[in-house]
Amino acid sequence: MKKFLCISLIVILYAILIIYFIFYKSNMNFVLLGNTTIITYKNNEIKEISYINKINKRLDYEEIKMHNGEDFEKYCISFFNFEGLINSKYYKDCYEEVELDSSLAYHGDININVAKNRQTSVMNNSDYTLINQALQTKNISGTASYFNKSTLDIDEDGVNESIYTINNYSNIEDDKFFNYVFLVESNGTIIDINYVQNNEETPGIYERNEFRWAADIDLDNNYEIILSTVKGDDSREEFLFYKYNGTSFNQVLEVE
């Protein structure tokens, strides 16, 4: 009789754990940025922003919605450790493994709105003029060796803005090295988002910041500007968040 009661108790406890685990996973609301950052939500508000410092088995092979540049598609994700850094594998429709660059994905019943943007790495004459104007405000006379422009409507007023990411890290003859992310309004006004200047002699440790997405991460119906940041060739990708108030950008939503 005692043996039967013990077995019954173990079975009941095991069933409770399974039900709790299924319920817990089905009610997780989170956003994943790259391999490194997870944003969790409670009652449609951000609960925590943290780095993924170890493999979380609760998230392993979890179904997520991955942004493809236009919309969200179904993927599954799994994590693995490679040379001390957390990495991930993505499976489209939870079946076909695909390689992705920096990624934005969510899980749960939250609604993440991401601005559509058109990107180019081909600089035209207008871009060249705007970049020179922006660099003059920083007393930089050099030229950019890296260029990327995103065109999007970040304040949803029907008029597009452009976000530029430039740096001169490949210009080994320059004595000042910079990484600059800025916005150009439709009237040509230049507004800083992020600027760093590096004078070290080892370019491998330079800070590289780049625009990734305009997305409503805090669910307030306004986009946050999300930059990826890497401080050295072997460092993990992290993310910076900025809010646009119509005249300037303020850094918000820092990782805890």
Residue 18 backbone zone (phi > 0: left; psi -120 to 50: alpha; other: beta): alpha
Q: Where are the beta strands (DSSP E) in the chain?
A: 30-33, 37-42, 45-51, 62-67, 72-82, 85-92, 96-98, 104-107, 118-120, 146-152, 161-167, 177-184, 190-198, 207-215, 224-231, 238-244, 249-252
The percentage of the chain sitting over the pLDDT mark of 90, rounded to a whole number, equals 29
Mean pLDDT confidence for 101-109: 82
Interacting residues of 179 by C-beta distance below 8 A, sequence separation 6+: 165, 166, 167, 169, 194, 195, 196, 198, 206, 207, 208, 209
**Per-domain boundaries in the chain:** 9-107, 118-252
Which among 167, 162, 210 is positioned nearest to 188, based on CA atoms? 162
Is a pLDDT exceeding 50 seen at residue 29?
A: yes
Assess contact for 35 and 65: CB atoms under 8 A. no
- Mean pLDDT is lowest, of 9-13, 110-114, 157-161, 177-181, for 9-13
- Mean pLDDT is lowest, of 89-93, 154-158, 169-173, for 169-173
pTM for the structure as a whole: 0.81
- Mean pLDDT is lowest, of 22-26, 100-104, 132-136, for 22-26
- Mean pLDDT is lowest, of 1-15, 32-46, 223-237, for 1-15
